[in-house]
Each structure stands twice: as C-alpha cells, then as structure tokens.
A = this chain, B = another copy of it.
Amino acid sequence: MTYEFHPDKYYRMPTHFGPSLGPRQGLDGRRYANIETSKDVIIQAKFEADKSQLEKLLPPGFALRDFSIVTLTFCYITEIEWLAGRGYNTFDVSIPATYHGKEETVHGDFTLVMWENKADPIITGREDLGIAKVYCEIPEPQFTGNDVVCRASWDGCEFASLKLLDLKEIPASDLPESGASEGSLSYKYIPKTGVPGEADVEYATLLPDVWPNVKLDQAMAAQTAAIQFRKSTWEELPTLVHIVNALSELKLGKCVEAHVMRSHGSKDLSDLRRIK
C-alpha cells in the first residue's frame, strides 16, 4: 500500500510525492532543451597562486595540474527553463586539477566551492551532481562606467568582492583557450547519518566541457581585476567561516586574465557523471 519508485525517473527527498522536479526533469518527465536560454552574464578573473597552498585543498586522488592559478567566477543567470523562467546567481572558486581514477585520468578544473543564492539549485546540485554548492546572497553585478563589481554576503555580512577594471569589448576569437580542461571536477561526499567521520557517498564527478547550445553574445576583457575575501569571524559566518578564511589566506599573485561574457543557451547537465 506504500508507493513504489518508478525506474529511470529522477528522485530527490521528499520522494513521497513522485519523481522530483528539477533541471533534468519536469512534470510528466518533461526534459528541458535549453536551446535559447538560460541567459548568462559571466564575470571571471584568474590569479596566480601558490602551488603548495592549492594542493592542500585537493581531496584524495586529485593533483594540481601544471599551472597554479585560481579562477573566480560570478555567473548571473536568467530565464532558466526548469525554474519557469526565473534565475539565480552563482560564485565559484576553482583550480586546475587532474583526477586519477581507477580506470580514468581526467584533466579538468576542480570546483572548490560554489555559492548560489537560491536553495533549490543548491539541493539538486549537491545531491544529483556532487557539486560543493553552499548558500550566500549574490546581488546583481554593479556596472559603473567601465568597471564592474561582484559581491557575496551571508546574512548581510559581505565576505567577498571581485572588481574588474577598464572593460573593453573584444571579438570572441580573442578570448583565451580553456587550457585543455576536459570539464569541471567535483568530489561528491554525503555523510553517513549518525556516524561522524564516515561517508555514505564519496566519489569524483566530471561535468564534460561540451556546451553545444551556448552562443556567445558579447565578450569584454578587463585591464585587470582584484579579488577580496574578507577575513571573518564565526559570529559573522557561522557556517562559512572556515571556507572564507581559507580563501582569504591564499597568497594570490597577478591577475592573468579577466573577462565578462554574455551568452545564451545551456544544458541540463545530465551528462555529468561519476569518474571511474
């Protein structure tokens, strides 16, 4: 008399009301094509970093790739199909890494943390995809003159800001190559209930760097950029202070590139997979 799970359907807690609704499944199993949308404003900067500091942030099985840089990306997303046309914003920090699995070796960009300002994509991103998403407030970017400021706060306490200076429009062909990355790497970890130190789930995942729907609408290059992580207290950031302060302690060198890109088209990330 209880319910049964449908095979081949995506589920998430609560499973009691039928298959879940999310990026990869709508009502009646509908899928989202993401051809013309979402619309994305991507504001990104890369900084030289200290190799030994970055290595300490890698989980077992991962190694830093040849170069030692940190990439900071704010993404302001609108017209998302699975949210019925709504949007949300993200802020993520990644470093180039290689994962040595049992069967595969994958070179990619390892997402250390991804903040998002909406709970729904955080939940699906963590549980379906294994991406280390957590919550913060991410107000819209502030374009003033030829500069832009991106900001992140939690409960009204600003902990990070990224500023790109002296933006100039460039042809798409002037954007740098993505550096032989096969995609975004994550480390899915779900704790075992009631047993500290043990995990129910623990494996690496890959989001392949294949985006057939994405069309670039505009590209701008900045003269330079500056990132600030504000050293914070536990009282200010009781769930994030260890993350923010570790990032604030990174010794960052010069900005090696900084861009603003506007694009449309996306994908449902159903190609994200566990690495063997």
**Could you say which residues of chain B place their CB within 8 Å of the CB of A201?**
190, 200-201
Q: A126–B84 contact, CB under 8 A? A: no
**Could you say which residues of chain B place their CB within 8 Å of the CB of A158?**
153, 156-158
CB interface residues, A 119-173, toward B, < 8 Å: 119-120, 122-123, 126-135, 137, 139-144, 148-149, 151-153, 155-158
Complex: A132 Cα to B12 Cα, angstroms: 9
Partner of A193, one of B61, B188, B192: B188
Query: Known interface pairs A56-B3, A85-B144, A140-B78. Does A197 touch B16 (Cβ–Cβ under 8 Å)?
Result: no
Assign chain A's interface to a size class.
Answer: 35 or more
Q: A140–B2 contact, CB under 8 A? A: no
Residue in B closest to A187 when the chains form the complex, CB atoms: B15
A179 in the interface, Cβ–Cβ < 8 Å? no
**Could you say which residues of chain B place their CB within 8 Å of the CB of A119?**
119, 122, 134-135
Partner of A14, one of B63, B113, B143, B152: B113
Q: B273–A21 contact, CB under 8 A? A: no
Q: A37–B143 contact, CB under 8 A? A: yes
Query: Known interface pairs A135-B120, A143-B85, A234-B27. Does A16 touch B156 (Cβ–Cβ under 8 Å)?
Result: no
Stretch at the interface among A67-75, A211-219, A220-228, A235-243: A235-243
Q: A240–B14 contact, CB under 8 A? A: no
Q: A84–B238 contact, CB under 8 A? A: yes
Query: Known interface pairs A13-B188, A27-B242, A235-B84. Does A63 touch B1 (Cβ–Cβ under 8 Å)?
Result: yes
* Closest 8 pairs between A and B when the two form their complex, measured CB to CB: A85-B142, A119-B135, A14-B132, A153-B156, A194-B273, A13-B132, A84-B238, A119-B119
Q: Using a CB–CB distance below 8 Å, which chain A residues touch chain B?
A: 1-19, 21-22, 24-27, 37, 52, 55-63, 78-79, 81-87, 112-113, 118-120, 122-123, 126-135, 137, 139-144, 148-149, 151-153, 155-158, 187-194, 196-197, 199-201, 203, 205, 234-236, 238-243, 246, 270-274
In the assembled complex, 27 residue pairs joining A and B whose CB atoms fall closer than 8 Å, in A order, are A1-B52, A2-B58, A2-B63, A3-B57, A6-B197, A11-B191, A12-B189, A13-B189, A14-B112, A16-B113, A16-B187, A21-B241, A37-B143, A85-B141, A86-B139, A119-B119, A123-B123, A126-B127, A128-B193, A129-B193, A137-B156, A144-B235, A151-B156, A193-B203, A193-B273, A194-B272, A194-B274
